[in-house]
Structure 1
Amino acid sequence: MRFIFKTDYAQDIKLAKHGGQVFWYSALMLLMFAAPWLFAEYWLAQLTLVLIYSIAGLGLMLLAGFTGQFSMGHAAFLGVGAYTQAVMTNAGVPFPIAMACAAGLSAAVGVVVGLPALRVKGIYLGIATLSFGFIVEEVLARWESVTGGNAGIHIKKPDIFGWVLETGNQFYFLCLVVTVIATLSILNVLRSPTGRAFVAIRDSEISAQSMGIHLAYYKTLSFAISAALAGVAGALYAHNLQFISPDQFNILQSIDLLLMIVIGGAGSVHGAFLGAIFLIAMPQVIAQVKDFLPAAVGQAPGLQGLVYGLVLIGFVMFEPMGLYGRWLKVRTYLQMFPFYRKGMFKRQKSFQKSDRLK
């Protein structure tokens, strides 16, 4: 088993804790860059979707997993970014500028949502963000002069200052670069005082406030960063589909995003990627398995929803730490065998005693 003895603060906030992480993450990056030559076109398209959803998952993970703010309308930020990208790209604006505007507008909308939501928490915050999602979906459907209404809108291919990305391989590399930048940005935020303030608010708002953390500022900042990442993911999502309509950013999309971070593992950056892989891979698995099921079951229209629900219930009841938590248990078991104890990962209360007095 690996023991890391930390002797200074700089060692504690390093991105790579030991040489093993450097090796495996470097190997992963080499595999990702070699993917266009290793995988068929269909699987490369699925991997591109995983990268896009991972960016949105990182934003929602920061908001829900690290700050403790519940959002059921996150698809609205995805839609704002997608439509901003579509409108500006079709107007001839280069891709980087259009994406920056999509992220900025989504962040501004996130601030607008975050400010009124400061007075509510828990399920009430979920209801507030859900209402916002309905409002954005209705605006996208009714503002026909800009969004095209329910008929949708087509979007041109990404144009990076005259260089048009025509092929799927080129767009994959674009998504990969943006995902790496987004991941490094989130990791740097989390190891900064701002990230530690987010975690303090998640663990106990009363304790965080007693330490001088400005709750309103950091909650609003978390909403803004999360919405900006969702806007970036929405911009890439629009280019990936090349056609968007308001019904693509409804409550079901928001639930998919929540499902992604819960199953991936709330409170971990790895969980955003594992959840995105699950979200993209599960429909493929169901499509492959349904042929071997009885016709009454395999052809049932609600099969996918039923499987999603059962998987979510199973994770909430038996594996609240998600896929990443399960991997941690397996890794710890292999490292400590035969001295592993089952109670090492016992579920604990996520609130402090002071919170019970409210």
Structure 2
Amino acid sequence: MRRLMCLLSILVALFAAAGPAAAFGDTRAPVLNALATAPQVHGAWHCGNDFCTWGAARTVAEFDGANHWLIDRGDGRPSVNLVVLSFVNPLRLLRQTTDATTLSGVPRGITPEIVSYFTSRGVRVMLSIGGITYTDDWDSALSENPTLLGQRAASVAGQLGVGIEIDYEQNTNPNLPALQTFIDAYRAVHPYDATGARAAARLTIDVAAGDRWLIALNRKATSDWLRTDKPVLDYANAMVTARPASASNAIADWQEHIDGKPQFAPPVPPLAPAKFTGATYIAYGGKPLPDCVNYPASVENATAPYVQSVAPNGAGTTAGMLGFMFWAAERPSTRGIGTVPPNTCEGGVGAGATALAVLVPMPPLRQS
């Protein structure tokens, strides 16, 4: 087994050394593609400059000054192929709130100009509805009118040309029937699209790092929404582990999704590797993190062989997870540092995009 893992690591390293063959505007197939799956999702959650509220409109010039690394890894190519603007308050979206920080239910900082800043460079954009701060508001909105909430999310997605991420972090008795109604209402407007061509059809969900938190939500998502034979949601994002960031902790968490939890009552079924991403930190604490500034020392680099090659274990037929997500661009917290100059992430996330031959724009996603 150790020899096999060493051989796999060598093959992945050779694949990475093949260079950015699939960068924006270059559709050449990466070397050794049959032996290692290039990450299809290489994205960052984006918290804006006010700790994930996006409460004020910004000029493109000012925004670029804080975020240029996302669209330029140092050679003109984007560091990511997806940004998820975080967060939209679900209750304000439902009620179409307009106030100092919100316009018709959408944070004032999330504008067509900011969306175009990314999409004009081949970077897909999504809006995340929820986050831990808005868990109670998710509960209230789902109780009040889940159908209308789904319709209003679909309308915003269509107007801005973005996808939607469900970030409903209710660990105790989540309102799953109402969330099903929300999803049904959204899909009635934007049906599932395996090609990925229609931005607003991209609908995803966040689950816990592993299978031991958000258990009921994860069970429902894995059982009914993330199946390869009857897909409803495009994929899930396994959120960043709450334990100290390390490759071993990350892999242990991600393997839980692939294995499922047959010992739980009811059991959590296994999840196809092609139906979820794994996440690492790029901004957390008081010093720059390797995943932001030093790819060779990063969790992404250490886990890339696993992410590219992990085998299905009861769900799906193809090896390799869907890719990586990074928490989080710009100012995700009132404490610690973000990813603004001089702590930008070309040397971490950007170098990872090069090493792993990430495609920009994002290709159609594997379906099995």
TM bin (shorter chain): under 0.3
Q: Which has the larger radius of gyration?
A: 1
More strand by share: 2
More helix by share: 1
Return the structure number with greater relative CO, CA threshold 8 A, min gap 6: 1
TM-score if structure 1 supplies the norm length?
A: 0.25
